[in-house]
Structure formats: C-alpha cells, structure tokens
A and B are shown apart, each in its own frame.
Chain A
C-alpha cells in the first residue's frame, strides 16, 4: 500500500501549549444548557408547509396498485407523491463501498415497485400542518402482494428467497484476504480457541431525531437546505449530483444538532425529497422526524455475526487469527457507508488489535434482508471486531489458565513503529502501559479476593477487560492504509481582528462534541492569544470552509490541523510586523500569552493586540512589501494514518434471581496523544461507554419472523439512562502523534468501540461458577438468568478445541 506523498507538505506549526491540555469550560454550554440552542425543529420559515411520509407496514411486498387521489383531496393537502411520481426526478440513491466484492444497490426515494422493509417510505404528503399531513397519510389507497420476508442473515447467505431483487443472491458484499502463513499457524497450533459473536441490531438513537427544511427560490434557482447532518458538504454534493440543483446556488445549513453518532452521517431519501417538494409547491417545506420514524427508518446499526479463531502455541502466544464477519445489512446500501462498512471494518481495520500476531486471515460478507438498512454508528465495525477479539482473548486466557491481564501482556506488541500482518503501520502507542495501568486501577488481587468472598454469599461480580487500538482522524492516508481510495480534507479560516481577538470557521458541523471549544484552544495557542478571545463557528453553512464530515474520530485531528495551519499563516504575519516594531529578527519573535516577544530579551515585547491594531490602522508598522490580510484559509489532511489506543475495565454484578446486570464501576484508560481538553475527552469516554453498555445489555431493535419491527418506541427500545450509569475512573496516557498538529489523535468513537467487549467479558467472568460463556448481545436478563440456572450446557458454549480441529466457518 502506497503512502500519499502529496500529503507530506501539510505540516502543522509547533506551538507552545497554553490552553491546550487544560480543562477549558465548553463555550457552547451556557447557550445550550440554558435552552438557547436553535435546533432544526425551532426553525420556521414564513409560508412553510409540513411533510409526512406514508411508510410501509409490511416487510416485503410487490405494489400492485397505489392511488393518492383521496390524499390529494384531503383538507389542507398541497401535494402528494408516490414512487411513480418521484422516479422521473431521481431514480434513487446508489449505495456501495469502494472495495472489491461490493455489489451496489439503488435505493428509490419512495418505493415504486416493491417495498423491502417496514418503514420504507412509499408516499409523501405536503400539507398546511403536520397534523393535516398525517391525517391525509391515513387515506392512502394501495394494494400489495406480500413476498417472503428475509429476516435472517444465515438464511440470506444460503440463498433462498431474495430480499432485494437488485441482489439476486442476497449478497451486498463478499471478500477476504490472507496475510502470512495462516494455515500453518493453525496446523501447528497447540490449541485453537474460537467462537461466534453476535452484535445485535441497535439504533444510534440521537436525542434529536433527523429533520430537513428546504427552501427553493425559483428566480435564482437557489436552494437552501437545513439538515442536522454530520456531512453538510457531502449532502450539498449529492443535491447537485442527483437532483441537478446548481452547485453555486445550493447552501446546506446545519443548526445546533442534538447528537448524530453516525446515524446523521448518511444521505437519506428524505433529504433528497424535500428540495424537490419545495420546488414543486413553491414554498418552504419542513419535515421533523418523530421518534417512531427514527427507530424504524433512521439507519440501523451493528447487526452482525463474527466468527473468530486464534491459533495458540504451547507458550500461549497467538500465532494466527482468522475472522469471518457476516453483516445483516437490511434492504439497501445506505449511502455513503453502505451495509458493507460494518462487517468490512470489523475484520479489516484491526484483526490483530494490540497483539503481535504474525498471520491473519479474514473474510467478510454482508447480506440483504428485509429490514431497515444498516449504516454507520460511532466506531462502525470496530465494536464488533473488538468484541470478538477481546472476548476471545478472555476465552484464550481461561483456556490457558492465565489472568486476562497476563494473557494480554504476554501477546501485546511492545516495539514501535510496528507493522502488522496486513502491513498496517502503527507509529506509536502505549498498548502495554494501558494493560498495566488498568490492572493497577482495578487492584486486581483485591478484586479477586472480593469476588471469591462474595461468591460464598451467593453474589456474583465480574470484571471485564477490553483493550483497543483505533484508527483515528479519518483521512486520505487512513483510507489508503486500509486499502480504500477515499479522499478527505477539511479547511479552516482564521481571522485576527483589530483588537487581537480571533474568529475561526471550520468545515465540520457539530453534534455536541464541543468542537467550538477545542478548536478555540488550538487557534489560541497557535496565535499566542487567550482562549477567551477566540470565537469558533462550526460549519453552520456550506458557504464557509470545506469539510468531509464529522465522522471517524477525525474532528480534533483534521479540523485541529486545519485551524493550526490557518492560524500559523496569520501568526507569521504578526511575527513579521512585531519584528519590525521591536526591531528584532523575525526568527526571534515568539507569540505566547498575548505577547509578541523577542526570545531571550527581557522586556522586548509588544502585545499581540497592538500588533493587530497596527496591521489594520498603522502602515508605518509594516515591513516592506507587507500584505496585510490577517485572514487565512488552509486545508489539512494528515500525512499518515494514526491510531489512538486505550482500554476499559468494567465491574458488574449479576442478580441471580432476575438476571439483571448492574454496573458498579468503569475504569478507563485513554491515549489520544496530546489531550486538548480533558473535560471533553472524558465526556466522550463517558458517553461512548454508556452507549456501549446500552448496546450490550439494554438495547435491541427486535424483528419478528415476518419482518415486523417490534421496538418502535422507547417503551420497547431500552436506552440506558443516568440511573444505570456507573461511576467512572479515567486515566489519561499521552503518546503524541509525530505528525498531527500538537500531537493530537482522535478518540470520539473509542468508548463505544471497546466497552461492549468489557461488558461481555465482565458478565462471563461473573458467570465462571456456572461454567458458561455467553457470546450474543444483548445480555438480556432472560439470557443471563438462563446462564445462571445451569440451563445452558457447557458443550454448547465450548470455546476451545484440540489441535488441528479448527472448525472455522
């Protein structure tokens, strides 16, 4: 895999950390916490109409007849469209992943011939109010012939009934690769441990549902589209590419957004339909997704099976790993991430994890089923991959009679840079240290003592460990490192004002990550000014800056790099003028703490504010040929893939009478290089781990065999709440990246990536006296109680096999 040479020039300045690394309070909070945020539902345009969708109540059917005349005649209705009406304007959204063995699908904006999942939009209604629109939706007259619903991934893979006629063998993705001598490793293994893990279907369930407002101005052909998307620039591109709106006239506006987590990093049929409707009715149109729609029709996540096997030598070293991932992808590829991304990432991104495994082999497939399309959710694929790898590590430790810490320490990579079997290069990391620190934090001997004492009393506690490495700062280089061709970059604009304050604009929309705070810290330190003097505008509109999306733990790294680079251009201007004012050499000018000072000369300084004022208003301060713009826009895309790492240890207790899992404590170690702001990093850890706890114990989007979704409200879909959130103890390690601005690495996804493995390991640790090992999520009370009542045979749960008998699926 070639590295992109052209990226080497994107250097970032070396700066003195002042606000970087400190617990600067979030500048967003006074506004958001006092109810002054403006979310999409708060926005009302004069003359706006409201949109509601008719969604399929059946999983798979052929549409025989559809008549919208009763809808059109209903009170207050301005327009109603079926799939037939919209198809001439847009055939649908093509979804695929640019890897070999991915078979694309085209998802219609409204189902035309066949409906493929419950919740698929089949008609859209525009009316005076949402009430009138929903009333009218009930008047739909349609006939359909039910077709067999494919609801099981294994069955879909085996052939049989077809879920989506565009994929005749149900395959949306199939492929694999092998590195090193895997067969030999397994043939010569002293023992093989293996298991099949299941990560259930969940929803990212952001607190704010999706929403779109479209306003079309026929005279200029201008389109303004409000969407709480994580990828405004990509959405703008799609609006021009698919619908033909003139690029120069399209503005995508992203108001305050209440969480995205990847669900809002897709482009949805609803976002494509609203502009067409606005153009047709000549008035602004608004759609705010309700919770039921969000649970049914917002991208689903996670559902896949991962088969994994380790070959172990007599010393307990892993000599080879085989992984196979099978994703239950739902009916279509959801652009741009597709049903492929979940299983593909699970096996390709980190099959070796933190372990020094010389040989690795993986296969992956994604199958279409008659369920809602699966897309990206915080740490897509990494969660399942980490679950399989880390839980199998515990199986191996049990088989070897080693402690989970010991087994990991025995196999962990110790020397960097390290190139894994796949040829992925890890420049640096604190992988061993993570294990050691976690072991200390939990006081393992004391835990073991307490565990055995409690067992005597009929109480069952368990400690689960999960250690991860995560590619972060999603970039062109990261993409290439993993064999993809995606190209990313972001820009930022920095302007220094006459009084020495700064305004910064970035190309990323924010969903609650605190980007306005961390980017202010990066800009402040680069410019040498106080962080309170910087104001950051995240991408509220595509008219400023450019960005590839708030995804893939990339915000801090990529926006941070762009901000530092843009601020550096301005900084150089300030240094030039300061040198002139102080009659010193520019090389000796340093900018810190609001002052431009001469290195090594006490008292030789001028305030940066005075320099800025002079640049604006006093030409005599200028050196010769000085160009006075104090505004710069720069791009950034890291030159190399970078990986953050860390681990969690989670302490649980199982109730032997109810099967409930109670969370006692979470211990987290995070190494995301230089920490810009510990508060924000810790918030990301807490939120991510809580989502991981949800995905492993409380949440599941359930379907029945006919493809009917059963969890359509929060009554049935169990999000974790504050009440189940345990206390956290968080430890920061800092192994800076050698090439990002200030050595920052991304970490937004790590909590969700690694927590479920720790939860499952903790539950299995607590279950040790019952001689069972669970591998399916979620760990419902019913499953746990069954395990505790000895109803699951050990044979059925057997993880180890003797030499040669690999039994790999």
Chain B
C-alpha cells in the first residue's frame, strides 16, 4: 500500500496553485489528504503531481456575512465541529461534523476536500445540497459560482473542472429549521443512509423545505416527493409518516455488502420519519 511515484508542490499563492494544476492533465489538488492519500496508497489513483493547498492563504476562515456564512475550502472538519459561530448560526454543521470519521481524520480532512470529492456517503455533500449552498471556484479563466443543485452530479463527481480549485462555500443562514439523521453501524463509520432536511419556518409551516439523501444512493440527491409533502403543511406525526412512505417510494437505493437496496429503502424511510418529527419538535 505505497503510492506510485508523483511530484509534489506546495505553492504559496492561489495563482501558482492554478498554474501547477494547469501544467499537467493528471495534476490533482491535495487538501487534507484523507480521501486522496488512501486512493494513492491503494493505487486506485495515480496523479502525476499533487498541488498541496496548505500554504495558500485565505482558504481557512469561517466568516459571518450576514445572510450567509462563508467557509474556506481548507477549514477542517474539526474546526467546524468546534466553531462557536457555526454552533450559533448553522448548528446542523456542528451536529454533523461529529459524525465524520474519528478525531484524527477530522483534524486533517477539510470541508473543501470533502465537497470536491463529492462522495455520496459524505456528510457535507448531503448537507450542502439540503442547505442550498453555493460553491465558489477559481480556474484559469477566472471565478465562478456553482449552486449545490448543479454541483453534485454523480458518484464522486462534481461539475468542478479538473483545472479549477474550490475556494469557498457560501451557506445561507435563513434555513433555521433543520434535522440531520445518520444511520451508521458504529460511531465514525460512513453512514448506511444520511438524511438532511432544512427549511425556513414561518407561521408553523416550512417554507421551501429541502430534503436530501446520502450514502444510501449512488449520488447525493434531493427527495423531491418528500419536499412536496412538507411544503407549507403543518408538521405532524401523520405528515412524517406520509413523508416516510414517499421517501421509500421515490428513493433509488444502492445495494452492496453493507446493505441491500431493500434494507436501505427502509432506513431512508425511517430517517425521513425521524427528521420530520425532529423538525416538528424543533419548529
């Protein structure tokens, strides 16, 4: 389990990083290395050059920008877990961070790395889709922003281009109703199913609810049928049950050694039910 040969650079400016990244089609960004290095060690990836972002400035802040919070790509899972600002303004992030792996990995793995990696089992992709986040990327041709809905497009696949670097993620703070549910066999395991549900509470109902599923599916997805049921309806136990049924009917779960699609369908339904009940109690 030793990686094949690769070159390594640790540029000190974003421009240099972009140049290195453009210098070779097989160049890859290295952030916390907690997903990339295992892939290298198992020889499932063989990049020619790794462009380490650790010395690139301005990527490590969590900033309060009023109606949204901007998180730098290099912010670690651990920093999110411990951020007082996030605990106050986006507590779903604080709650979910502790589900990611173990403290050692959380101390190295980064928010941007996880987002760019687009692992369907990742907590961040599932949550960012539910929070309607906006990704900020920079490439040889300048900056662009990508809505979460347009970002996660497949298993380990985002619309970020190979020569682009994800720099920040902006998350609106208006979705104050939230629930995050994870079914993991053991603490620190990847979940067998993840559900994130958010919305803006107004007069006892949720405006614009978003419900997403991760881990049980090949790619993080919104459960549109569930969202429809929750929209502008008073949250009740009956509604939770209805949402669970809709989730089971509409989700397209994967099947592997950790659980059949049938089993995961049931999990998704249970987690959706739990999420709606939690929204009800919290709203």
B270 contacts across to A, CB distance below 8 A: 657-658
Q: Is B187 an interface residue (CB 8 A)?
A: yes
Contacting pair B42 A292 (CB below 8 A) = yes
Q: Give CA–CA (A291, B185) in the complex, Å.
A: 21
A782 CB, nearest partner CB in chain B, Å: 4
CA A658 to CA B274, docked complex, whole Å: 12
Interface size class of A (residues with CB under 8 A): 20 to 34
| CB-defined contacts of A718 to chain B, threshold 8 Å | 185-186, 189
Please measure, in the bound complex, the distance between the C-alpha atom of A512 and the C-alpha atom of B266, giving whole angstroms. Answer: 43
Beta-carbon contacts of B170-193 to A below 8 Å, as 1s and 0s?
Answer: 000000000000010111111010
- Min Cβ gap A414→B in Å is 42
- Could you tell me the distance between the alpha carbons of A131 and B1 in the complex, rounded to whole angstroms? 9
Is A92's beta carbon under 8 Å from chain B? no
Q: Which residues of A contact B38 (CB under 8 A)?
A: 713
Residues in B neighbouring A785, C-beta threshold 8 A: 263, 266
How many Å from the CB of A265 to the closest CB on chain B? 25
Question: Is A720 close to B, CB under 8 A?
Answer: yes
Tell yes or no: A660 within 8 A of B by CB: yes
Q: Is the pair B2, A130 in contact by a Cβ cutoff of 8 Å?
A: yes
Give bound CA distance, A292 to B2, whole Å.
Answer: 11
A723 pairs with B192, CB closer than 8 A = no
Q: Which residues of A contact B257 (CB under 8 A)?
A: 702, 710-711, 716
Q: Which residue in B186, B259, B263 is a CB contact (below 8 Å) of A724? A: B186
Query: Are B186 and A782 in contact (CB-based, < 8 A)?
Result: no
Interface string of A683-714 (1 = CB under 8 A from B): 00000000000000010001000000011010
With A and B bound together, what is the CA distance between A722 and B274 in angstroms?
A: 26
**Contact string, A130-151, partner B, CB cutoff 8 A, digits 1/0?**
1100110010000000000000
Which of B42, B186, B260 is A720 in contact with, Cβ under 8 Å?
B186
Residue B161 interfacial (CB < 8 Å)? no
Residues A660 and B259 in contact in the complex (CB < 8 Å), given A131-B2, A290-B1, A715-B190: no
A85 to B23, CA, bound (A): 45
- The residue on A at minimum CB distance from B193 is A658
Cβ-closest chain A residue relative to B1: A290
Q: In the complex, are the beta carbons of A658 and B183 less than 8 A apart?
A: yes
With beta carbons under 8 angstroms apart, the residue of B185, B190, B263 that contacts A698 is B185
Q: How many B residues have CB within 8 A of the partner chain?
A: 26
Question: Are A781 and B192 CB-contacts (below 8 A) given A291-B1, A292-B1?
Answer: yes
Tell me the smallest distance from the CB of B140 to a CB of chain A, in Å. 32
Q: Is the interface of A mostly helix, strand, loop or mixed?
A: loop
- Closest residue of chain B to A135 (Cβ to Cβ) is B4
Interface residues of B in 237-262 (CB under 8 A from A): 257-260
Asked if B141 is at the interface of the complex by the 8 Å CB criterion, the answer is: no
In the complex, whether B5 has a CB less than 8 A from a CB of chain A is yes
In angstroms, how far is the closest chain B Cβ from the Cβ of A604?
62
Q: Is B186 within 8 A of A135, CB to CB?
A: no
Set of chain B residues within 8 Å of A723, measured between Cβ atoms: 186-188
A721 contacts partner chain B, Cβ-Cβ < 8 Å:
yes
The smallest C-beta distance from B85 to any residue of chain A, in angstroms, reads 28
Contact with B along A644-660 (1 / 0, CB 8 A): 00000000000001111
Residues of chain B lying within 8 A (CB to CB) of residue A291: 1
The distance in angstroms between the C-alpha atoms of A786 and B259, with both chains bound, is: 12
Flag if A721 contacts B187 (CB, 8 Å). yes
Report A-chain residues with C-beta under 8 Å of the C-beta of B192.
658, 781
Chain A hits for B258, CB < 8 A: 716
In the bound complex, residues from chain B placing their C-beta under 8 Å from that of A698 are: 185-186
- Cβ of B27 under 8 Å from chain A: no
Complex contact B259–A135 (CB within 8 A): no
Q: Does B267 have its Cβ within 8 Å of any Cβ on chain A?
A: yes
How far does the Cβ of A659 sit from chain B's closest Cβ, in whole Å? Answer: 8
Nearest residue, chain B, Cβ from A130 = B2
Residues of A within 8 A of B4 (CB): 134-135, 138
* Shortest CB distance A721–B (Å): 6
A-B pairs with beta carbons under 8 A, tally: 62
CA distance A657 to B248 in the complex (A): 13
Report how far A777 CA is from B2 CA in the complex, Å.
Answer: 34
Contacts A702-B257, A781-B192 hold; do A660 and B183 have CB atoms under 8 A apart? Answer: yes
Given contacts A658-B183, A658-B267, A660-B183, contact A781 B259 (CB under 8 A): yes
Closest Cβ neighbor of A133 among chain B residues: B2
Per-residue 0/1 for A541-585: is the Cβ within 8 Å of any B Cβ (1 yes, 0 no)?
000000000000000000000000000000000000000000000
Q: How far is the CA of A789 from the CA of B3 in the complex (A)?
A: 46
- Which residues 1-31 of B have a CB within 8 angstroms of A? 1-5
Q: Give per-residue flags for B49-60: 1 if the beta carbon is below 8 A from chain A beta carbons, else 0.
A: 000000000000
Contact A781 B190 (CB under 8 A): no
Q: 1/0 contact trace for B33-55 toward A, CB 8 Å?
A: 00000100011000000000000
Chain B 185-228 interface mask (CB, 8 Å, partner A; 1/0): 11111101000000000000000000000000000000000000
Contact residues in A for B259 (Cβ distance below 8 Å): 780-782
Most buried by B among A659, A713, A724: A659
Inter-chain CA distance A710–B263, complex, in Å, is 19
Which chain B positions have C-beta within 8 A of A786?
263
| Cα of A780 to Cα of B267 in the assembled complex, Å | 14
With A292-B42, A720-B186 as known contacts, state yes or no: A782 contacts B1, CB within 8 Å.
no
Q: How far is the CB of B35 from chain A (nearest CB, A)?
A: 11
Measured between beta carbons, the chain A residues less than 8 angstroms from B190 are 715
B46 to chain A, nearest CB (A): 10
Shortest Cβ distance from B73 into chain A, in angstroms? 24
- Nearest A-chain residue to B41, judged by Cβ: A290
Kindly list chain B residues whose C-beta atoms are within 8 Å of the C-beta of A710: 257
Contact B5 A135 (CB under 8 A): yes
Q: How far is the CB of B11 from chain A (nearest CB, A)?
A: 25
Residues of A within 8 Å of B263, CB to CB, are 659, 781-782, 785-786
- Report the separation of the CA atoms of residues A599 and B263 in the bound assembly, to the nearest whole angstrom: 74
Residues of chain A with a CB closer than 8 A to B185's CB: 660, 698, 718, 781
Residues of A within 8 Å of B183, CB to CB, are 658, 660
The residue among B2, B4, B274 with the most chain A CB atoms within 10 A of its own CB is B2
CB-defined contacts of A134 to chain B, threshold 8 Å? 1-2, 4, 43
Tell me the nearest residue of chain A to B42, going by C-beta. Answer: A292
A430 to chain B, nearest CB (A): 35
What separation, in Å, do the CA atoms of A698 and B257 have in the docked complex? 12
What residue of chain B has the Cβ atom nearest to residue A712's Cβ?
B42
Report the minimum CB–CB distance from A426 to chain B (whole Å).
39
Measured CB to CB, the closest approach of chain B to A179, in angstroms, equals 42
Question: Which residues from B are CB-within-8-Å of A657?
Answer: 266-267, 270, 273-274
- In the complex, the answer to whether B186 meets A721 with C-beta atoms within 8 Å is yes
- In the assembled complex, the Cα of A780 lies from the Cα of B186 at a distance in Å of 12
Q: Which residue of B lies closest to A658 (CB)?
A: B183
Chain A residue numbers with a CB within 8 Å of B186 are: 698, 718, 720-721, 723-724
Bound CA span A786–B38, Å: 34
Q: Which residues of the partner chain A approach B266 to less than 8 Å between Cβ atoms?
A: 657, 785, 789
- Given A660-B183, A698-B186, A723-B187, list of 5 further CB < 8 A pairs? A131-B3, A290-B1, A657-B270, A702-B257, A782-B259
Binding site for B on A (CB under 8 A): 130-131, 134-135, 138, 290-292, 657-660, 698, 702, 710-711, 713, 715-716, 718, 720-721, 723-724, 780-782, 785-786, 789
Q: Could you name 8 residue pairs across A and B whose Cβ atoms are closer than 8 Å?
A: A134-B1, A657-B266, A657-B267, A660-B183, A660-B185, A698-B186, A713-B38, A716-B257
Q: Closest 8 A-B residue pairs measured CB to CB?
A: A657-B270, A723-B187, A290-B1, A782-B263, A131-B2, A134-B2, A702-B257, A658-B183
| Interface residues of B, Cβ cutoff 8 Å to A | 1-5, 38, 42-43, 183, 185-190, 192, 257-260, 263, 266-267, 270, 273-274
